[in-house]
């Protein structure tokens, strides 16, 4: 299927299903994907085949300059963002200056659009780095991915590109002490002859057990809404999503947000 890349460092604003009017920040290349996951459902497509690829990332100074110009333009136009969102063509926390860029962004937000929230959409794979954790704790919406409580399923759906341990990741997510939002995409399908369905009873029990340990302030759940690199995928219906949310909410006592 057709997928797409964000071709700018600062993009949008766009209307997000989960966040409202969002001004995006892409800390990855503008012409290729760079990620520590290779998710079967990623709207940016597959990672490149070249394992020696060294991406050209925008500098901290470039990001700050472009963001300042865009926010000033939006203020002049009377078009203020609800949220400034780190997303783009892969995993934003892979940028070596991610913590410093967060500081710059919060400074510009406070100065120019103080009502806007700062959000990071992350796949959680860099939460073993203390500097990344401290930076994520500073933002308003620290949104971290957990698509399953079963490692085998994550290896099929998310396809980690390096060392991966779900047990350790859950431990790192617990270290946020509740200052995080968990984001989960529900999906069923097949990839490389491996079938998966993270809506099964076994899956939901493991996922809820992980959430009990992590204790997030909120959980966002959704299914695919755009083109995906793997064609053998089935979108989970809104009715199923609401049923999952209701079941999990009754056990966990924290709010769930469904994007259907």
Does a structural domain hold residue 233?
Answer: yes
- Model confidence at 2: pLDDT above 60: no
Does a structural domain hold residue 178?
Answer: yes
Distances (CA, A) of 240 to 15, 24, 187, 194, 259: 24, 30, 11, 23, 12
Query: Cis peptide leading into 13, omega within 30 of 0?
Result: yes
Q: Can you give the pTM of this predicted structure?
A: 0.94
Does a structural domain hold residue 4?
Answer: no
Which residues, including other chains, have CB under 8 Å from residue 63's CB and lie 6 or more apart? 9, 10, 25, 27, 101, 104
Does a structural domain hold residue 47?
Answer: yes
- Model confidence at 218: pLDDT above 80: yes
Nearest partner of 199 among 209, 183, 184, judged by Cα: 184
What's the rounded mean pLDDT across residues 154-166?
A: 96
Does a structural domain hold residue 206?
Answer: yes
What's the rounded mean pLDDT across residues 122-138?
A: 98
Convert the pLDDT of each residue in 39-95 to its tens digit. Answer: 999 999 998 876 666 789 999 999 999 999 999 999 999 999 999 999 999 999 999
Does a structural domain hold residue 244?
Answer: yes
Does a structural domain hold residue 73?
Answer: yes
Counted domains in the chain? 1
Q: Is the dihedral of CA 157, 163, 168, 170 positive or negative?
A: negative
Residue range(s) defining the domain that contains residue 35: 10-259
Does a structural domain hold residue 1?
Answer: no
pLDDT at 99: 98
**CATH number of the domain that 248 lies in?**
3.20.20.70
């Amino acid at each position: 299927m057709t997928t797409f890349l964000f071709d700018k460092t600062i993009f949008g604003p766009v209307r997000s299903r989960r966040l409202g009017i969002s001004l995006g920040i892409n800390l990855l290349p503008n012409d290729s994907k760079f990620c520590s996951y290779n998710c079967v459902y990623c709207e940016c497509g597959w990672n490149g085949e070249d394992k020696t690829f060294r991406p050209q990332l925008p500098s901290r100074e470039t990001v700050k300059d472009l963001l300042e110009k865009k926010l000033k333009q939006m203020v002049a136009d009377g078009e203020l963002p609800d949220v400034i969102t780190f997303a783009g063509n892969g995993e934003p926390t892979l940028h070596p200056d991610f913590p410093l860029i967060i500081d710059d962004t919060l400074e510009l937000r406070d100065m120019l659009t103080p009502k806007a929230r700062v959000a990071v959409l992350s796949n959680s794979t860099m939460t073993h780095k203390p500097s990344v954790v401290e930076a994520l704790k500073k933002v308003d919406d620290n949104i971290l991915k957990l698509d399953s409580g079963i490692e085998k399923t994550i290896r099929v759906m998310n396809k980690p590109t390096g060392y991966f341990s779900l047990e350790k990741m859950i431990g790192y997510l617990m270290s946020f002490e509740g200052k995080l939002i968990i984001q989960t995409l529900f999906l069923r399908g097949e990839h490389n002859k491996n079938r998966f369905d993270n809506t099964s009873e076994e899956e939901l029990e493991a996922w809820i057990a992980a959430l009990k340990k992590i204790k997030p302030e909120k959980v966002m759940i959704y299914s695919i809404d755009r083109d995906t690199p793997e064609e053998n995928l089935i979108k989970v219906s809104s009715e199923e999503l609401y049923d999952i949310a209701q079941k999990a909410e009754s056990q966990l006592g924290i709010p769930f947000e469904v994007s259907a």
